[in-house]
Amino acid sequence: MRISYLLIAALIGLSGCAATGVQVKQGQLDQFKQGETTRQEVVAALGKPTTQMRNSDGTTTLLYTYAEYRTRPETFIPFVGAFVGGADTNSSNVTLTFDQSGKLLSYSSSESEMGTGMGMAAGQVGAVPNQPRKPDSMPQGMPTNPQDTAI
C-alpha cells in the first residue's frame, strides 16, 4: 500500500516536467574560435541545430534553442492548486553565424526565466491597452479586414 502511494506521487511529480530542444552550455561555446571553427565542427560538437538559416549575404546562421517547463508542486493539490499553482519555464538560445566558406563569424547566447501563476499566485493582472487590436485603433493604411490582406 505504501509503495502505491509513492508510485503515484512519483508519477505526478514526473508529469509536471517537460524539456525540448538542444541545450548548449557556455563551456561548449568557449571552445569555438571566430575565424577558425567550421560549421561542421560546431554541428559535430553540439548536434543538429533546432533552426538553420541561409542569409541573403551568403552567410549561414544556426540556432540552438532549449526550453524546460516545471509545474510547481502546489498545482497538484486538489482544489487549492487552481488558486495557488503555477509553472516555471527556463529557456536558452544560442545563435552562431558562419561566413560563405563555413567559418565562424560570431555567436551570441541568451537565457530567460519566466514564472506563471494561477489564481492568487498570479497577483493582480490588468488589461493590456489596445489588445486585442480593434479596427478603429489600426494605423492608417492598414487593412481592417483580414480578407483584405494579400498573401
Domain assignment present for 21: no
Domain assignment present for 102: yes
Domain assignment present for 63: yes
Domain assignment present for 17: no
For residue 151, what pLDDT is reported? 45
Domain assignment present for 147: no
Structural domain total, the chain:
1
- Domain ranges, residue 60: 34-114
The mean predicted confidence, pLDDT, of the chain is 82
Q: Is the Cβ–Cβ distance between 109 and 91 less than 8 Å?
A: no
Q: Which of 68, 20, 23 is nearest to 46 (CA)?
A: 23
Helices (H), 16-103: 26-30, 39-46, 81-84
Domain assignment present for 71: yes
DSSP letter assigned to residue 74: G
User: Where are the extended beta strands (E) located within 42-145?
Assistant: 51-54, 60-71, 86-98, 104-117
Q: CATH number, domain at 72?
A: 3.30.1450
Domain assignment present for 134: no
Low-confidence ranges of the chain (pLDDT < 50): 151
Domain assignment present for 61: yes
Exposed, middle or buried, 69 (CB in 10 Å: 0-12/13-18/19+)? middle
For residue 138, what pLDDT is reported? 54
Whether the model clears a pTM of 0.75, i.e. scores above it, the answer is no
